[in-house]
Chains A and B, each alone.
Chain A
C-alpha cells in the first residue's frame, strides 16, 4: 500500500460525458502528479500540483483540467469524453516540489468510455 488513494477504481461512461477522478496523496506529501496510461502510449504525464499551485504541465488536453485543494487532495476532471480517453489514470505523490526521490503511485482509476 503506497498510501495514495484514488477513487473510483473503475468507471464506465459514455462519449460526451464528464467525469471526476479523485486522489488523496500520502500524508505529508505536497506534490501530486497525474498520469494517463494506455496500451499504446505508455505512461504519459498530464499535470503536477505542488501545495495547491500548478507546477508543471505535460500532454494534458484542453478538455481535461485538474486542481489541488487546501487539504492537498486533487481532482482530475475529464469532459466531452471520447473513446480514446479510455485508459488507466494514475495519481502519484511526493514530498518535494522537484522530484529527487520516489514517486508513490495510487492503484489507478480505470476509465472506460463506450
Chain B
C-alpha cells in the first residue's frame, strides 16, 4: 500500500520562507508530485521529482530523498495568494490530505 504524511496546517508571514514536509511509504515509486489547491478550486500542478535532489522553479522548490521516503516543498518570498492547501502525491493515485498554509500580513 501507500501512505503519505504531511502536517495538517502551517502559518507563515508574508515575505518569509516556509518548508512543507512530506513523508511517504510506497510499494512502487515513479515520482513525487506537489499540487496547490485553493479552497473550492481544482488542484494545480507545482512540481515533479523523480530523482534525488532539489528542483527549483521560481519561488517554489521541491526536494526529494528516495532513500528516506521524504520530500519537501519550499516556498520563498511568500505572498498572500500562496494561502492554500499543498498536496503531496506519490504516483498519480495517492494524495496526502494536504497541508493548509495560511499566510498573514
A58 touches B42 (CB 8 A): no
Q: Which of A41, A90, A94, A100 contacts B43 (CB 8 A)?
A: A90
Residues of A within 8 A of B44 (CB): 2, 105
- The answer for the CA separation of A106 and B45 in the assembled complex, in Å, is 12
Residues of A within 8 A of B94 (CB): 45
Q: How many residues of B contact A (CB 8 A)?
A: 21
Residues of B within 8 A of A44 (CB): 95
Query: A105's closest neighbor in chain B, by CB?
Result: B42
B92 touches A107 (CB 8 A): no
- The answer for the CA separation of A98 and B87 in the assembled complex, in Å, is 20
- The answer for the CA separation of A106 and B41 in the assembled complex, in Å, is 9
- The answer for the CA separation of A35 and B52 in the assembled complex, in Å, is 28
B97 touches A42 (CB 8 A): yes
Residues of B within 8 A of A90 (CB): 42-43
Q: How large is the interface on A (under 10, 10 to 19, 20 to 34, 35 or more residues)?
A: 20 to 34
- The answer for the CA separation of A45 and B31 in the assembled complex, in Å, is 17
A-B contact count (CB 8 A): 55
Residues of B within 8 A of A98 (CB): 30
**B92 to A: closest C-beta gap in Å:** 3
Known contacts being A33-B92, A43-B87, A98-B30, is A103 close to B45, with CB within 8 Å? yes
Within B2-43, the residues touching A (CB, 8 Å) are 30-31, 33, 35, 40-43
A-B CB contact pairs (8 Å), 26 listed: A33-B92, A33-B93, A42-B96, A42-B97, A42-B98, A43-B43, A43-B87, A43-B95, A43-B97, A43-B98, A44-B95, A45-B95, A48-B93, A58-B93, A90-B42, A90-B43, A94-B92, A98-B30, A99-B91, A100-B48, A100-B50, A101-B48, A103-B43, A106-B42, A107-B41, A107-B42
A-B CB proximity, top 4 nearest: A99-B92, A42-B97, A105-B42, A102-B45
